[in-house]
Amino acid sequence: MSRKPARWMCTLDERILEHLSEDPWSTPQHMSQAVKLTASRGRVEERCLMLSQVGLVAPIFEDSNMYEITCEGQRYLDGEFDVENRPVPSPRALQNKDSHNPPITVKITPRVSFGREFK
């Protein structure tokens, strides 16, 4: 099946999801070095935050910069999930977490990770 990206998504989002599909969890710094595109750690972190707003990735634990792909993220990669039908994430909410426009809340179903210790 072919993937159904949203208009706001970019190629880097696809690479992040593909990387997290192969690696149980990762940090933006590691992904910025591993992803086959030129992207800074800050840019990868920004995209991870956007992807987490729509439930495609999730921090391993609250306030963590370690991310894992969710079931919805894996379904998207498999062409079974249309991201266009999700609310558009807000870059403004990422820049100003104390704003009056809170980020979108999405129920996230984390993928179970095996064989990797969290340090």
Residue 46 lies in a domain: yes
Residue 115 lies in a domain: no
Percent of the chain with pLDDT over 90: 65
Number of folded domains in the chain? 1
Residue 38 lies in a domain: yes
Residue 106 has pLDDT above 70, yes or no: no
Residue 109 has pLDDT above 50, yes or no: yes
Residue 82 lies in a domain: yes
Residue 30 lies in a domain: yes
pLDDT per residue as tens digits for the range 65-104: 999 999 999 999 999 999 998 999 987 766 654 444 444 4
CA–CA gap between residue 39 and residue 110 (Å, rounded): 25
Distances (CA, A) of 18 to 44, 77, 87: 13, 7, 22
Quote the pLDDT of residue 93. Answer: 65
Give the residue numbers spanning the domain of 49.
11-95
Q: What is the mean pLDDT of the chain?
A: 84
Q: pTM of whole model > 0.85?
A: no
Residue 25 lies in a domain: yes
Q: Please write down the HEC assignment for all residues of 19-85.
A: HHHHCCCECHHHHHHHCCCCCCHHHHHHHHHHHHHCCCEEECCCCCCCEEEEHHHHHHHCCCCEHHH
CATH of the domain at 21: 1.10.10.10
pLDDT average, residue stretch 16-30: 95
